[in-house]
C-alpha cells in the first residue's frame, strides 16, 4: 500500500495552480458546491452524490461542448473534481480533500 503523494514540489504546486487559475474553472467549482441549486433536476444520477452532468455544466458555462468538456478534463486531471460515468452521462463532483490540500499548499507558499 502506497502513501498518498506528498505533492510538495514547486512543479506540483504550479500545475494545480494552473488548473485553478481560470475563471471558468473557478466558476464550475463554485457551482458544484451546490449542484441542486445551480443545475436543472436530473432524472438519472443523484446530484448530491455524484454532482452535475457534463452537459448541464457546459450549457451553463455558455461555451461549446468541446470547450466545456476540456475544462472538466483539466479539473479532472488535476484531481480537483471526481467524474462518475453512468448511463451515458458523466457526472462531476468536487474533490473536497484535494481542494483542502491545495489550500494547505498555498498557505505554505
The Cα 15–Cα 20 span in angstroms is 9
Q: Could you tell which of DNA, a second copy, none binds residue 29, using a CB distance below 5 to 8 A set by kind?
A: a second copy
Pattern 41-80, binding to a second copy, x per CB under 8 A? Answer: ----------------------------------------
Paired with 86 in beta bridges are 89
**Binding range to DNA, per CB under 7 A, among 4-12, 33-41, 62-70, 99-107:** 62-70
Q: Give the sign of the dihedral formed by CA 84, CA 46, CA 43, CA 33.
A: negative
Nearest residue to 72 via CA among 32, 36, 25, 109: 25
Q: Which of residues 30-49 bind DNA (CB under 7 A)?
A: none
Q: Please state the closest distance from residue 9 (CB atom) to DNA, in A.
A: 17
CA distances from 71 to 2, 3, 14, 41 (A): 29, 29, 17, 22
Chain residues that interact with a second copy, rule: CB under 8 A: 10-11, 13-14, 17-18, 20-23, 26-27, 29-30, 99-100, 102-103, 106-107, 109
Amino acid at each position: 500500500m502506497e502513501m498518498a503523494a506528498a505533492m510538495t514540489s514547486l512543479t506540483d504546486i504550479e500545475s494545480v495552480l494552473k488548473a485553478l487559475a481560470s475563471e471558468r474553472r473557478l466558476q464550475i467549482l463554485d457551482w458544484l458546491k451546490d449542484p441542486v441549486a445551480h443545475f436543472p433536476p436530473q432524472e438519472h444520477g443523484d446530484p448530491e452524490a455524484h454532482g452535475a452532468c457534463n452537459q448541464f455544466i457546459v450549457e451553463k458555462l455558455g461555451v461549446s461542448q468541446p470547450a466545456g468538456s476540456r475544462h472538466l478534463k483539466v479539473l479532472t486531471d488535476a484531481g480537483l473534481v471526481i467524474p462518475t460515468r453512468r448511463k451515458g452521462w458523466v457526472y462531476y463532483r468536487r474533490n473536497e480533500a484535494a481542494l483542502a490540500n491545495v489550500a494547505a499548499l498555498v498557505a505554505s507558499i
